[in-house]
């Protein structure tokens, strides 16, 4: 059933069996009722976990003062059915010029290292996905206005206007979808790099059609309708189950109890799943225990893998860098190994320009590489870090302006939670990561010459797309035994 009310304007609506709705009012508001089918998957693949990186980003937005929607000035659609989604299909070949492509990648990379500088103070190992954090926040940015929008743009290094920014992110996602043709994964099911987006809205709450159209056209994000007010726990489980499904059960129970409550109005989710084999895998027979030197002068004994191959290699006065390609040579892991005693100095000066310069110096070299197997997880509350980077108003009740979502200034961000897991061994890497942005209302050697790289001390590593230069994941290992 579809009920249409008109307020001051006439709008054409279209309904299908799944209650798809199209409208062209300005502004137009959609009131949601019912449920929705799972959103589109940008790229679905199967594959083993030789290199498996999973990332999920969740944005939870909650309405401000009242549980009752504000008065509607233009067309309101009250829909019931399984699917409510803009009928705007996702652009599969977005037209983005070279300057736009460079801008979106450079911006994401700059944010990656800005955030690193904020998070490093927590100490210990760390791992996160700057790309997915950005992608999720950019979906929220689509509805940000005024000072809130300007602060988000500055913090995330979003230099393009909104009408160019979202197509640029869409372009980058489509680039990732083309990666890995014919390449291998660990479990003989093939390489995959999947990016999936979804939005979850409160039944009977009002959202601007322009906002939903932007997410549909550029992020493939359809809307699923939940009742956060009456069924908070059920809604939380529904979203967690979706996350678990998108990440092949690598991330379970992402959103903790209590994070979704009767004030929740919108949840935006982004998941990245990466699975790829090493181009040059390691042999378990050559793995042996060795000492890893800690920052405090101590040592731990850890398994060190050994591989001699033609790797990308660069060196400076106080560092070595080595690039390990994945099968297909479209993505790679770059290890940045500061010289002994220089980790703190190297890390303090780390930014995108420095890393870009190092990557540009990488040349194919015969390298005898010894590096540790490692596995750890990280968790962060990012509101403080993002505020320190300049994104302040988005977290302030009364100051936040996300009126581009609802037509009213009734949403703000309460907290941004990020969790990640990574495991690296002879077979490759398995990793998982998740982010929740919660928006409440009120409240062996040979004769010839070769380079030796022994990663037996703290190092920084990143996983990047080689063609575009986009950084998907970033981390450091200061103690592989933890």
Which sign, positive or negative, has the C-alpha torsion 257, 258, 263, 268? negative
Instruction: Output the CA angle 362-368-372, nearest 5 degrees.
Output: 95
Residues 6+ apart with CB under 8 A from 85: 20, 21, 36, 212, 216, 222, 223
Query: Which residue in 428, 454, 386 sits closest to 130, CA to CA?
Result: 386
Residues 111-133: pLDDT tens digits? 999 999 999 988 899 989 898 88
Mean pLDDT computed over 436-459 = 68
The DSSP bridge partners found for residue 412 are 62
Distance CA 45, CA 197 (A): 16
Each domain of the chain, given as residue ranges in start order, spans 2-276+376-438, 284-374+446-477
Residues 6+ apart with CB under 8 A from 196: 39, 40, 41, 42, 220, 246, 269, 270, 271, 272, 273
Least confident window among 32-41, 217-226, 396-405: 32-41
* CATH T-level assignment (fold) for domain 284-374+446-477: Alpha-1-antitrypsin; domain 1 (2.30.39)
Give residue 416's pLDDT band: very low, low, confident or very high (50, 70, 90).
confident
Confidence of residue 264 (pLDDT cuts 50, 70, 90): confident
The string of pLDDT tens digits covering residues 36-87 is 333 333 333 344 444 555 555 566 665 543 333 333 344 333 323 444 567 7
Q: What is the pTM of this model?
A: 0.83
Question: pLDDT category, 380, cuts 50, 70, 90?
Answer: confident
Query: Considering Cα of 45, then 242, then 84, then 400, what sign does the dihedral take?
Result: negative
Can you give 414-433 as a three-state secondary structure string?
A: CEEEEEEEEEEECCEEEEEE
Average pLDDT (14-42) is 39
Q: Is 165 left (phi over 0), alpha (psi -120 to 50) or beta?
A: alpha
For the domain spanning 2-276+376-438, the CATH number is 3.30.497.10
Pairing of strands 192-202, 319-325: unpaired
208 contacts 266 by C-beta, under 8 angstroms: no
SS3 assignment, position 386: helix
Do the beta carbons of residue 175 and residue 469 sit within 8 Å? no
């Amino acid at each position: 059933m579809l009920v249409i009310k008109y307020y001051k304007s006439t709008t054409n609506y279209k309904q299908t069996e799944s209650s798809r709705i199209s409208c062209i009012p300005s502004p137009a508001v959609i009131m949601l009722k019912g449920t929705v089918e799972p959103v589109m998957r940008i790229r679905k693949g199967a594959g083993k976990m030789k290199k498996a990186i999973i990332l999920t980003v969740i944005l939870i937005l909650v309405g401000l003062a009242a549980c009752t929607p504000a008065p509607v000035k233009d067309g309101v659609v009250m829909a019931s059915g399984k699917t409510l989604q803009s009928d705007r299909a996702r652009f599969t070949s977005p037209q983005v010029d070279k300057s736009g492509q460079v801008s979106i990648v450079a911006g994401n990379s700059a944010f990656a290292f800005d955030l690193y500088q904020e998070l490093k103070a927590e100490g210990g190992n760390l791992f996160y996905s700057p790309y997915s954090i950005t992608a999720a926040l950019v979906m929220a940015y689509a509805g940000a206005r005024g000072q809130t929008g300007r602060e988000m743009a500055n913090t995330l290094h979003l230099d393009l206007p909104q009408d160019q920014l979202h197509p640029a992110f869409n372009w980058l996602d489509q680039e990732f979808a083309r990666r890995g043709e014919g390449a291998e994964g660990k479990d003989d099911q093939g390489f995959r790099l999947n990016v999936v987006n979804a939005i979850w809205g409160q039944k009977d709450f009002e959202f601007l059609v322009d906002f939903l159209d932007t997410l549909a056209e550029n992020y493939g994000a359809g809307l699923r309708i939940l009742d956060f007010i009456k069924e908070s726990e059920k809604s939380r489980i529904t979203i967690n189950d979706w996350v678990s499904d998108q990440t092949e059960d690598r991330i379970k129970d992402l959103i903790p109890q209590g994070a979704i409550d009767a004030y929740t109005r919108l949840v935006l989710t982004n998941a990245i799943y990466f699975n790829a084999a090493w181009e040059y895998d390691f042999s378990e027979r050559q793995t042996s225990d060795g000492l890893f030197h800690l920052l405090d002068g101590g040592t731990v004994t850890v398994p060190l893998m050994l591989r001699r191959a033609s790797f990308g290699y660069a060196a400076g006065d106080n560092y070595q860098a080595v690039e390990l390609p994945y099968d297909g040579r479209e993505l790679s892991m770059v290890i940045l190994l500061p010289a002994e005693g220089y980790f703190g100095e190297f890390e303090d000066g780390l930014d995108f320009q420095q890393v870009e310069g190092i990557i540009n110096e990488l040349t194919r070299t015969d390298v005898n590489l010894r590096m540790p197997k490692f596995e750890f997880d990280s968790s962060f509350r990012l509101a403080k870090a993002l505020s320190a980077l300049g994104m302040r108003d988005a977290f302030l009740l009364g100051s936040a302006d996300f009126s581009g979502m609802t037509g009213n200034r009734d949403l703000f961000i309460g907290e941004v939670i990020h969790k990640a897991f990574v495991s690296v061994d002879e077979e490759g890497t398995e990793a998982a990561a998740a982010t929740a942005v919660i928006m409440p209302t009120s409240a062996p050697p040979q004769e010839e010459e070769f380079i030796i790289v022994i990663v037996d001390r703290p190092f920084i590593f990143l996983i990047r797309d080689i063609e575009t230069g986009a950084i998907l994941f970033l981390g450091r290992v200061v103690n592989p035994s933890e």
